[in-house]
């Protein structure tokens, strides 16, 4: 297996919008920098949590340009390149490779259903062959609850065989631990990241590379402590704390909830804006969420108070 540059807690970064509904590059750059300062092992900008598919390709590329201009290290970036057309996917991948990004996170084509493994293979391999760069590192993005189309275990093996130097990892957002476990068992050395920190400790114990998780937007420190201490005696207790926060978040629509938390703790109400078809939390939901977090002793960017002693 080739070396791959990502380990630890990767964050699918929230995308802030201005009051007129445009991506807010200034807030985005600042937030990315803050996440890296918190210890994020990489930034999966333009993932599902980023509302990437509510942005055009050119909006995504303009934001990536701004990150690079601002000095965010390209090797820490794993932009999502989700698109239904090979044409657009190849443009997004080419753009990321051109900036020297550490990798790309690639959805399968997600409009047509059902599609065959052969059809998905033709799509992804067509994109890889078109970009034709030895610098390209592809992480397959498996998220069937949203995309409905996914990468089967066998299909992952076909990619590893055909593109050993290029297809180096996978984000498993199936929510199905048995799938993550099977990937780790069948493809040792292939970088598997569960899509939730709930599975982080279990994944690390089977050779996983870390996790790529929405809640990383508000809890890099808490999740990172699991990663740092997974061989130690506190591992299960640290995992339980991280899981407790995740479960609290999951009581709400995830992206609006995360944005509400950032807005609340940064005292910046505009951060709560989402793009349709998502909607912001209403006032009652917002208050309930903040109250739920208070019960857990949560403060953005710090260790939960319950762990501070």
Instruction: Give contact residues for its own copies (rule: CB under 8 A).
Output: 21, 48, 53-57, 59, 82-88, 91, 108-113, 115-116, 118-120, 122-123, 126, 145-149, 275-279
- Shorter beta-carbon distance to its own copies: residue 221 or 256: 256
- Shorter beta-carbon distance to its own copies: residue 3 or 20: 20
- Shorter beta-carbon distance to its own copies: residue 3 or 154: 154
- Helix or strand holding residue 259 (H, E): helix 254-265
Q: How far apart are CA 88 and CA 129, in angstroms?
A: 14
CB of 158 to its own copies, least distance (A): 14
Q: Of 195, 217, 181, nearest to 147 (Cα)?
A: 195
- Shorter beta-carbon distance to its own copies: residue 54 or 234: 54
DSSP assignment of 3-50: -----EEEE-----B-TTSSB-HHHHHHHHHHHHHHT-SEE-TTSTTT
Residue 154: Cβ within 10 Å count: 9
Residue 87: Cβ within 10 Å count: 12
- Helix or strand holding residue 167 (H, E): strand 167-172
Cis peptide before 50 (omega within 30 of 0): no
Q: How far apart are CA 191 and CA 180, in angstroms?
A: 11
CB of 120 to its own copies, least distance (A): 6
CB of 268 to its own copies, least distance (A): 22
On whether the CB atoms of residues 28 and 60 are closer than 8 A, the answer is: no
CB of 22 to its own copies, least distance (A): 9
CB of 266 to its own copies, least distance (A): 25
- Shorter beta-carbon distance to its own copies: residue 155 or 226: 155
Structure token pair of residue 259: 């944005």
- Shorter beta-carbon distance to its own copies: residue 113 or 295: 113
CB of 280 to its own copies, least distance (A): 11
Q: How far apart are CA 210 and CA 217, in angstroms?
A: 15
Strand, coil or helix: 229 = coil
CB of 255 to its own copies, least distance (A): 9
On whether the CB atoms of residues 112 and 51 are closer than 8 A, the answer is: no
Q: How far apart are CA 194 and CA 263, in angstroms?
A: 27
Structure token pair of residue 267: 């005292």
- Shorter beta-carbon distance to its own copies: residue 76 or 95: 95
On whether the CB atoms of residues 110 and 100 are closer than 8 A, the answer is: no
CB of 54 to its own copies, least distance (A): 5
- Shorter beta-carbon distance to its own copies: residue 138 or 220: 138
């Amino acid at each position: 297996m080739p070396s791959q540059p990502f380990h630890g807690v990767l964050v699918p970064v929230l995308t802030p919008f201005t009051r007129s509904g445009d991506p807010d590059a200034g807030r985005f750059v600042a937030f990315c920098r803050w996440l890296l300062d918190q210890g994020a092992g990489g930034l999966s900008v333009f993932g599902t949590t980023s509302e990437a598919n509510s942005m055009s390709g050119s909006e995504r590329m303009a934001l990536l340009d701004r990150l690079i201009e601002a000095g965010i290290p390209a090797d820490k970036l794993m932009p999502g390149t989700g698109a239904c057309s090979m044409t657009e996917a190849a443009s997004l991948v080419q753009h990321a490779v051109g900036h020297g990004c550490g990798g790309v996170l690639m959805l399968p084509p997600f409009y047509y259903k059902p599609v065959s493994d052969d059809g998905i293979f033709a799509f992804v391999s067509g994109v890889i062959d078109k970009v034709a760069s030895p610098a390209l590192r592809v992480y397959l993005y498996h998220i069937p609850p949203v995309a409905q189309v996914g990468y089967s275990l066998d299909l992952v093996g076909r990619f590893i065989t055909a593109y050993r130097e290029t297809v180096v990892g996978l984000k498993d957002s199936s929510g199905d631990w048995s799938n993550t476990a099977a990937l780790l068992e069948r493809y040792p050395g292939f970088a598997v990241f569960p899509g939730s920190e709930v599975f982080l400790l279990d994944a690390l114990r089977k050779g996983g590379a870390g996790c790529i998780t929405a809640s990383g937007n508000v809890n890099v420190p808490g999740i990172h402590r699991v990663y740092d201490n997974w061989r130690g005696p506190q591992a299960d207790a640290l995992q339980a704390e991280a899981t407790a926060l995740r479960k609290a978040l999951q009581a709400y629509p995830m992206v609006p909830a995360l944005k509400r938390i950032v807005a609340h703790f940064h005292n910046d109400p505009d951060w709560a804006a989402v793009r349709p078809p998502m909607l912001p939390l209403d006032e009652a939901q917002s208050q309930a969420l903040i109250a739920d977090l208070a019960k857990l002793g949560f403060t953005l960017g710090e260790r939960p108070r319950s762990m501070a002693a």
